[in-house]
Structure 1
Amino acid sequence: MRDGFPGQRLRVLPGQVVAAAVRSGLTSRLLVTDAGYFPRARHHGRRRAHGASGTIMIFCVAGQGWCEAQQGRLRVAAGQVLLIPAGVGHTYGSDDADPWTIWWLHLKGPDATAAVEELCGSPAQPRVLGVHDPFRLSAEMERVVELLETDETTPTLVRAAGTAWSVLAQVSADALAGDPQRGEPVRQAQELLRENLAAPVSVRGLARTAGLSPSHFAALFRAATGGGVVEYSKRLRMARACELLITTATPVGDVGRTVGYADPQYFARQFRSVHGCSPSDFRRRHREVEATGA
């Protein structure tokens, strides 16, 4: 189990820098202590009987790898993230026949701990997660490495922490959205709803477009978004209505018709259910705020 791969990049913060960074400022919430890139890392691996002091995130961009922990052996394929919580004993390595290419980070701080608890459960164990946009994730993890390659000053560490938070947010959002392939019908439906705000909402029609039964489609949509199709559409419509009320002088009834509500009173009731006030009151309050410069 060795390092040293052609084209590798590796940065590890000195202990005294880590000790200072975790005591105050934004880096006390989230700090990248180690980061790197290992291309075609044949025979690469680590064994930590008592785990690492921070969270380990490994993004496999090509090839394959594996991780063994208390719950068994996990396979890690291209386009997947291996997340290993702090303090959890583990062994991981690159596949001998198809060695992985990886970007990796070691993270400390309560924000990293909270993300791991959300993603890995309790008691936390290593988990493999699918990624919906691998190119974006690769770019952001490369940015973290580039920052640590620059220097070890506090501004640079804060920038690296901000980018690492974006990485955690992307992985967390993808986990909530579910498997990328299973989520594709939902993504297509969301696009249709956004592009056709004024059109009647039909779960059956969206399911037919996705080639699924209405019940299966509805279950996938709820799992990916946390709510039903009708509620999701209402939120999209109300967001557009707010934009029109703020940026135009279009009469309220016409705003409602633009976002799919032919009945002004029904539009007002739907708007109030989301924003707690009528469309007219919303517009008036916004103009009052603009007038006072608050």
Structure 2
Amino acid sequence: MSQPSSWPLPSGSSRVVLPLQLTRQLARHALTKHLYPLAYGHYVDAVGHHVERKKHTDHLLIFCHRGRGYFRTAHAEGELKAGQLLLLPSNEAHTYAASTTQPWSIYWAHFQGTSAAACMDFLDLSPAQPVLTLTRWRQLIPVVTDLLNLQTQRHQFTAAVVAASLLQRIIAELPRLTSTLQVPTEFDLAALERFMYDNSHRDLSLDDFAEFAGLSRYYFSKKFKQFTGTSPMRYFNQIRVKIACQLLDNSADSIRQISQQLGFEDPYYFSRLFKKTMGMSPQFYRQTITNQRG
């Protein structure tokens, strides 16, 4: 297997590399041998991400959902922008990197299988044209989320079989997501919620969420409140407070460090928001949890 990049993982990013013994089982099993993952992950705001491989033993799929990057092979080179997917076949030497000014956020997967080489034809791609533009990619976020959530069970064969089936489904869905015939009038709340969790370390605005949903600011706010009963920004801040509670429970990081991890430049504002949401300060919350454990 080609070694995945060793890019340092910041908050919100993840990388799963399946053990060799497990991938050998997947290569033999009737349900998975035609296509199965070797490694997969999600890199958020991948500053400094750069990979160069002269030998490449498996197939690699990279989908950019924010920012941009660049790629080069013996047959093609170009830019990979938000909403575009790059498929690099095995035995294709390549280089790719995040933009220095707008570093990409990407979902990626290394995969193999007896049918892996057929993916290029299935997606109507070629070594000279390896990029696919997906206009409705957000519909796949729940499936991608299910795949990423399997990382805690990655050493279990049954979970690996599920991971293979999810990867197969993702690839199977790609052609229909290139259509521009449908104009979105609603949005996928599950996909948006995943976007909020993935970007809980950033100070996002209403415009960022409306852009992700593909809707105008006004229409998005209206529809979001109809679905959830609250505003997008309050919903996002509730998610960040929920993550803060987990960090207060399970880490020794200071309140300032936790606030910075969650994109709050002002720790006092973070503390006020936490108290407004939880009814107590972060300090008192941590002390209460500690006393309960004692």
| TM-score over 0.5 for the pair | yes
Moved over 4 A (4+): none
Distance 1:121 1:60, change over 3 A: closer
Structure 2: segments with no counterpart, 5+ residues: 185-294
Structure 2: distance between partners of 1:173 and 1:111: 20
- Indicate if the aligned counterparts of 1:69 and 1:126 stay in contact, CA closer than 8 A: no
Distance 1:148 1:112, change over 3 A: farther
Percent of residue pairs identical: 25
Match of 2:72 in 1: 68
1:92 aligns with 2:101: no
Deviation at 1:120, TM superposition (A): 5.5
**Residue 101 of structure 1 is aligned with which of 90, 94, 105?**
105
Deviation at 1:67, TM superposition (A): 0.7
Distance 1:91 1:118, change over 3 A: same
**Residue 155 of structure 1 is aligned with which of 153, 158, 176?**
158
Deviation at 1:155, TM superposition (A): 1.6
Structure 2: distance between partners of 1:60 and 1:107: 18
- Indicate if the aligned counterparts of 2:47 and 2:100 stay in contact, CA closer than 8 A: yes
Structure 2: distance between partners of 1:60 and 1:82: 8
Q: For residues 237-256 of structure 1, what are the structure 2 equivalents within 5 Å?
A: none
- Indicate if the aligned counterparts of 1:148 and 1:160 stay in contact, CA closer than 8 A: no
- Partner deviation per Cα, 1:191-238 (whole Å, 9 max, x = no partner): xxxxxxxxxxxxxxxxxxxxxxxxxxxxxxxxxxxxxxxxxxxxxxxx
Deviation at 1:2, TM superposition (A): 5.2
Structure 1: segments with no counterpart, 5+ residues: 188-294
- Indicate if the aligned counterparts of 1:115 and 1:172 stay in contact, CA closer than 8 A: no
Structure 2: distance between partners of 1:72 and 1:174: 23
More helix by share: 1
Structure 1: distance between partners of 2:6 and 2:162: 30
1:141 aligns with 2:144: yes
Deviation at 1:138, TM superposition (A): 2.9
SS of the counterpart of 1:88?
coil
Distance 1:125 1:156, change over 3 A: farther
Which structure is larger by alpha-carbon Rg, 1 or 2?
1
Distance 1:70 1:151, change over 3 A: closer
Structure 1: distance between partners of 2:51 and 2:84: 18
- Indicate if the aligned counterparts of 2:32 and 2:165 stay in contact, CA closer than 8 A: no
Match of 2:21 in 1: 16
One-letter amino acid of the counterpart of residue 27, structure 1: T
Q: For residues 53-202 of structure 1, what are the structure 2 equivalents within 5 Å?
A: 53-119=57-123, 121=125, 124-125=127-128, 127-175=130-178, 177=179, 180=180, 183=181
- Partner deviation per Cα, 1:110-132 (whole Å, 9 max, x = no partner): 2322112333556x456111113
One-letter amino acid of the counterpart of residue 109, structure 1: G
Q: What's the RMSD between the two structures over aligned residues?
A: 2.3
Deviation at 1:97, TM superposition (A): 0.4
One-letter amino acid of the counterpart of residue 118, structure 2: A
Structure 2: distance between partners of 1:2 and 1:17: 21
Distance 1:104 1:121, change over 3 A: closer
Structure 2: distance between partners of 1:9 and 1:121: 28
1:34 aligns with 2:16: no
Give the structure-2-normalised TM-score: 0.56
- Indicate if the aligned counterparts of 2:137 and 2:177 stay in contact, CA closer than 8 A: no
SS of the counterpart of 1:22?
helix
Structure 1: distance between partners of 2:32 and 2:50: 28
One-letter amino acid of the counterpart of residue 42, structure 2: Y
Distance 1:126 1:37, change over 3 A: farther
Give the structure-1-normalised TM-score: 0.56
Distance 1:164 1:39, change over 3 A: same
One-letter amino acid of the counterpart of residue 28, structure 1: K
Distance 1:83 1:121, change over 3 A: closer
Deviation at 1:23, TM superposition (A): 1.4
